[in-house]
């Protein structure tokens, strides 16, 4: 058998054999691959589930913020969490009904009745109506509307003015008016939506030739009396369901001095005769009390057109400002003959 020789191996076989350096490089590459395969992969943080949870949490926080920033929503949420949402809604319904009833009460229509009687019955009566407006149409919600409707009327605004016709303005000679009935006088009215309120005042002026006039101011607002001299304020007051009245006790006009002169003189002539009779009785020993004397005097005044002592005193003072007249009249009293 022949011995092996050192002849070259075939080229393709030689290429299959690695030298030392190549083999070490191959080994390192394999080790790196194995190491990378064993190392856990890094996961991404913002995955779809994480994003969904974040969005839900953010919306929850926003929702809770909205709820707790509103007292109503906060109460409703608390009621829901405590299992009393039904009871809470029932309470809300009752509060709402109470507010509606209160608005209806504040805006309820009011009408009054009044009969005007006066003397002399030939007087002229001028009746004027004033209409004021409280506009709450821009209010939103029951609370805001109710607060607006409770405000005071601005009486500095220019009111709507209306003259009310009556029989005293159309009298012919020798006619008189017994009284003037006024029914359904508006005191307060509201619009159909109850967001506009109207308040009414009324003036009544009673005049006659030869008499001092009397002027009355009628209102439903006790803080709105008329302070000008010569005016008498009357206030509408509720006397029953839908019944409103004012305390009007008639209007007897006070005659001016010249108008009352004849009655004044007649009253004092009559009184002079009564005084003489009283003096004679007292001289004869009969007792006539001061009350009896006062009663006789007022009876004479009434018979001659004077309602009270005060009314007579006014005329007496006015006429006696003419000193010459007063002196001559007193002299004539002493000379009258009594029957």
Residue 218: exposure state from Cβ atoms within 10 A (0-12, 13-18, ≥19) = buried
The DSSP-derived string for 258-287 is: HHHHHHHHHHHHHHHHHHHHHHHHHHTT--
- What is the pLDDT at residue 154? 94
pLDDT in tens, 30-85: 555 445 555 555 555 557 666 667 666 666 666 556 545 656 556 655 656 655 55
Predicted confidence at residue 99, as pLDDT, reads 73
Regions of the chain with pLDDT less than 50: 1-14, 16-18, 33-34, 67
Q: Exposure of 260 by Cβ count < 10 A (0-12 exposed, 13-18 middle, 19+ buried)?
A: buried
- Give the pLDDT confidence score for residue 91 in this predicted structure: 62
- Residue 4 has what pLDDT? 47
- DSSP string covering 132-166, please? EEEE-TT--HHHHHHHHHTSPP-TTSPPEEEEE--
Query: Which pLDDT score is estimated for 55?
Result: 65
Structure confidence at residue 339 (pLDDT): 80
- % residues pLDDT > 90 (the chain): 63
244: three-class secondary structure by DSSP = strand
Q: Please report the pLDDT score of residue 231 as a whole number.
A: 96
């Amino acid at each position: 058998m022949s011995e092996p020789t050192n002849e070259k191996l075939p080229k393709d076989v030689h290429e299959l054999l690695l030298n030392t350096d190549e083999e070490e490089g191959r080994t390192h590459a394999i080790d790196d691959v194995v190491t990378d395969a064993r190392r856990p992969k890094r996961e991404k943080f913002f995955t779809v589930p994480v994003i969904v949870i974040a969005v839900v949490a953010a919306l929850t926080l926003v929702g809770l913020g909205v709820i707790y920033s509103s007292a109503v929503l906060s109460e409703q949420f608390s009621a829901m969490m405590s299992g009393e949402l039904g009871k809470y809604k029932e309470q809300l319904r009752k509060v709402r009904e109470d507010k509606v009833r209160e608005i209806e009460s504040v805006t309820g229509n009011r009408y009054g009745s009044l009969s005007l009687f006066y003397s002399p019955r030939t007087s002229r009566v001028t009746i004027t109506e004033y209409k004021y407006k409280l506009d709450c149409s821009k209010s939103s919600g029951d609370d805001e509307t109710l607060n607006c409707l409770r405000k005071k009327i601005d009486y500095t605004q220019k009111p709507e003015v209306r003259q009310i016709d009556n029989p005293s303005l159309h009298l012919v000679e020798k006619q008189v008016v017994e009284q003037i009935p006024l029914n359904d006088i508006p005191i307060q009215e509201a619009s159909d939506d109850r967001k506009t309120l109207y308040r009414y005042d009324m003036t009544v002026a009673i005049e006659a030739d030869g008499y001092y006039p009397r002027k009355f101011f009628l209102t439903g607002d006790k803080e709105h009396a008329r302070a000008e001299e010569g005016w008498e304020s009357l206030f509408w007051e509720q006397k029953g369901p839908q019944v409103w009245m004012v305390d009007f006790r008639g209007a007897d006009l006070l005659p001016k001095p010249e108008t009352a002169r004849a009655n004044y003189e007649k009253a004092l002539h009559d009184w002079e005769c009564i005084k003489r009779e009283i003096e004679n009785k007292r001289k004869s020993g009969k007792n006539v009390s001061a009350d009896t004397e006062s009663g006789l005097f007022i009876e004479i005044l009434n018979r001659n057109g004077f309602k009270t002592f005060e009314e007579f005193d006014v005329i007496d003072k006015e006429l006696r400002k003419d000193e010459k007249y007063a002196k001559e009249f007193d002299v004539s009293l002493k000379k009258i003959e009594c029957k």
